[in-house]
Amino acid sequence: MTYSYTQISQYLTCPRRYRHRYLDGWKEKDTRAAMLFGRAFERALGAVFRREDPGAVLFAEWSACQSEGLNYSSGDSWDRMLQQGIMLLTRFCQDSRVRITQPQRNLQIKFSRPVGDKNDFVAYIDAIGKLDGKRCLLEWKTSSSRYPEEPEGLLSLDPQLVCYSWMTGIAEVTQVVFVRKRLVEVQYLRTTITDEQREEFGSLVEGTIRRIESADFLPHSGIRFPQNPCSSCP
């Protein structure tokens, strides 16, 4: 069986939800505009490094989503998000802080590793390149609000970054956050993942897979404000 970060994180959120999604095959079409915009924007970022026209790629990708019956968050619209995307791409190119050589090899890179005797773990890393001249693993995020930068060390607790560091063995990781707000902003958040964190993540994956294989699919303990994953569960 092949596992991914999304599967492990879904199981840890709610084992019952994991069962519905991955064993019963319950999948709903995702029409969240912000999520689909994020995918279109990431393809446009790829065009930046391949020296193609990122604005044209964003327009084409975002146009393809237009007929999907998108659900917009308050204040968002298709036009407004396109405009923000173009401004963010312009800002990112002006900043010129990220370098990716050989984009065909170093963007959307597939990594896989064995877990135990019969399982694999697979991850797609957004990019490996340099930020301000220093080699690092890069992850793109689009958001309608800034990511918190305090307290110090917060980013190193991001489980997805720890997972990617565990998969690649790269300690230096950077999250580039494209913030869609009235005055757009690009955040370059850098952190270091330790050997101990990577080891712990490997143990977490093994332990989670053992629970999945032993058919432990109890629902999580329920709803309690403000931690309320049930309210967003399909």
| Residue closer to ligand SF4 (CB basis): 14 or 58 | 14
Q: How far is the CB of 24 from ligand SF4 (least distance, A)?
A: 11
Place of tokens 């060390």: 153
| Residue closer to ligand SF4 (CB basis): 43 or 220 | 220
Structure tokens at 97: 């802080």
| Residue closer to ligand SF4 (CB basis): 18 or 92 | 18
Written as one letter, the residue type at 197 is Q
56 contacts ligand SF4 (rule: CB under 6 A): no
220 contacts ligand SF4 (rule: CB under 6 A): yes
Do the Cβ atoms of 185 and 192 come closer than 8 Å?
A: no
The residue within the footprint of ligand SF4, chosen from 7, 11, 14, 129 (CB under 6 A), is 14
| Residue closer to ligand SF4 (CB basis): 29 or 51 | 29
User: What is the Cα–Cα distance from 91 to 48, expressed in whole angstroms?
Assistant: 12
Number of residues that bind ligand SF4 (CB under 6 A): 8
Do the Cβ atoms of 57 and 47 come closer than 8 Å?
A: yes
| Residue closer to ligand SF4 (CB basis): 15 or 129 | 15
169 contacts ligand SF4 (rule: CB under 6 A): no
User: What is the Cα–Cα distance from 112 to 105, expressed in whole angstroms?
Assistant: 15
User: What is the Cα–Cα distance from 208 to 213, expressed in whole angstroms?
Assistant: 9
211 contacts ligand SF4 (rule: CB under 6 A): no
Task: Report H helices in the chain.
Answer: 5-13, 15-18, 33-49, 54-65, 78-95, 103-106, 159-168, 195-213
230 contacts ligand SF4 (rule: CB under 6 A): yes
Looking at 12-20, 55-63, 110-118, 152-160, which segment touches ligand SF4 (CB under 6 A)?
12-20
User: What is the Cα–Cα distance from 21 to 25, expressed in whole angstroms?
Assistant: 5
Residues of this chain that interact with ligand SF4 (CB under 6 A) are: 14, 16-17, 219-220, 229-230, 233
